[in-house]
Amino acid sequence: MNINEYQKHTMEFAVYPGAGEHSFQEINYLVHGLTSEAGEVSGKLSKIIRGDVVPPEMFLAEVGDVLWYLARIADNLQVDLEQVAEYNYNKLVERKKLNLLKGSGDTNKERKEMI
């Protein structure tokens, strides 16, 4: 399955207020869900750091949940994940050309001048 097919399938499991409406209510729910799932990924890593054994599939399951929320957010914004990936890749290529991969690209003086 390609990433855009996956994104379309995520709607099958979208059971939350405003699902598929491209509304503020929907994006609000999705962003909170994304941060919650990202926290769960971080929690798994914390357990690994302290020496616990975390089966790879448990870590992968949380990363997959993050992907689901990202796909739903992209759908809410009416873009597909391939567009998001391409946009991000092109941004990184430009930052690399300007030697701006380190530091904060949002506050870097050269980055501001580029916009």
| The dihedral formed by the CA atoms of 94, 76, 16 and 62, expressed in degrees to the nearest 10 | -20
**Superfamily name with CATH number, domain 1-79:** MazG-like (1.10.287.1080)
What's the rounded Cα separation, in Å, for the pair 62 and 39?
Answer: 9
- How far out from the chain centre does Cα 27 lie? 13
* Position 110 pLDDT exceeds 80: no
* pTM of the predicted model over 0.75: yes
**Mean pLDDT, the chain, integer:** 92
- Band (pLDDT 50/70/90 cuts) for residue 6 is very high
At residue 52's C-alpha, the angle toward residues 48 and 54, to 5°, is 65
Where do the structural domains in the chain lie, given as residue ranges?
1-79, 81-115
